[in-house]
Amino acid sequence: MTNTDTPRTARSGSAVSKAASLAASAQRPPGDTGGQRASVAAGFVRGMLAGVSARAGDAGELLLRAGIDAALLADADPAQTPPRVPVDRYAALYNLINAELDDEGFGLFSTPLRVGSFELLCRGVLGAPTLAEVLDRLARYLRVLLPDVAMSLEVVGDEARLSLRECRPLGAGRVFAFEWLLRLLHGLACWLVARSVPLDTVSFPYPVPAHVADYALIYTARSRFVEDGVPGDVLVACFAANLLELPVRRDEAALAAFLVGAPGRLTTLYRRDREMVQRVRDRLRAALPKSLTLAQVAQSLHLSPRTLHRRLEDEGSSFQAIKDALRRDQAISRLAKTRDPLAQVAADLGYADASAFYRAFVGWTGEAPTHYRKRLRGNSPAR
């Protein structure tokens, strides 16, 4: 798949900094003083309901059934902390709207995605050997069932560029349509290869939304937006091209479990603010360069190792995946923002030697740390 047109996308600037600086505040809902409960900005809920409103549906009844206070969606005072909705209730509303409209696209597109479309999509890509083939099948699926948006994949050097082009005007729910589709495709891809696929940058074809803080949690802190107020028509998400070779690791049994609560459940996976995931991550980060075991972390949380394992599994993760993701994120941050020697970065992350860090980094990103640092400097000079 290729996309030879030059898309109208955003450039890096103040919007990127704003998304990164607001990410921390988005992780903790107002009034949450304990473990961080995963939540989403009310702006995502408004976008999700756009299709219901356009069809004169009863949004209030759906919100009530999902356990969401409709008052949270009222125009907020800019001086106040933006309202947020627990992600489990957001996922419940997601599935309620799909059932109410018989449309897994929320009534936002010219052709409805009838209930069962997501399962059909999952079964269609499950047998793919690699991530590259998964994305190719997804593009063909969308061409048949969602003609309003065209998906394509282009590889330029060591960078893969996934594009979503608006073929027909998407209307009032346009921003959420792009947000939802990228989240769906990226989340499914991550699940299929059983690991996070980090997005280096995403260029969104619209101005900075009010809920931009959440973009660093859901997509990447390096999110970009149009700066002249004139919307584009193409979303471009970039990641390391070597990740396209990742093998698909899920089977029919895993899919059966995954589909329970789907597709709304997908919104709870591969985020940075899931409660137990975040608590484990915090403890691992605080202990660096010491590397804690599952039993040690479980004891600090007053849980048995078995219970901790189950809780993490319920949130779509695992102890090793959290440890790897923490080290990956810390490593990427250090490589992008400092000139620290690789040996020092490796030691600070708990690796016995630089060679072990090198092998781990190649596994995370598909490329050597020195090459990754050079590539990032093209967009964000090291300090």
**Number of alpha carbons in the 13 Å side-chain half-sphere of residue 363:** 13
- Encoded amino acid at 247, one letter: P
Domains of the chain: 14-245 (no CATH), 274-377 (1.10.10.60)
Dihedral sign of CA atoms 369, 366, 27, 314 in order: negative
pLDDT at 197: 86
Output the pTM of the full model.
Answer: 0.67
Per-residue pLDDT of the chain (383 residues; tens, 9 = 90+): 544 343 444 444 444 444 334 333 333 333 332 334 567 888 899 999 998 887 766 788 999 999 998 888 876 555 566 688 888 889 899 999 999 999 999 999 999 999 999 999 999 999 999 999 999 999 999 999 999 999 999 999 999 999 999 999 988 889 999 999 999 999 999 889 887 788 889 999 999 998 898 888 788 888 999 987 777 899 999 999 999 999 998 989 889 888 888 888 777 666 655 668 878 988 998 999 898 999 999 999 888 999 898 878 766 678 988 888 888 888 887 887 888 999 999 999 989 888 999 998 888 777 888 888 887 666 544 44
Residue 154, burial from CB neighbour count under 10 angstroms (0-12, 13-18, 19+): middle
Closest CA to 333 of 282, 383, 298: 383
Work out the number of other CB atoms within 10 angstroms of the CB of residue 328. 19
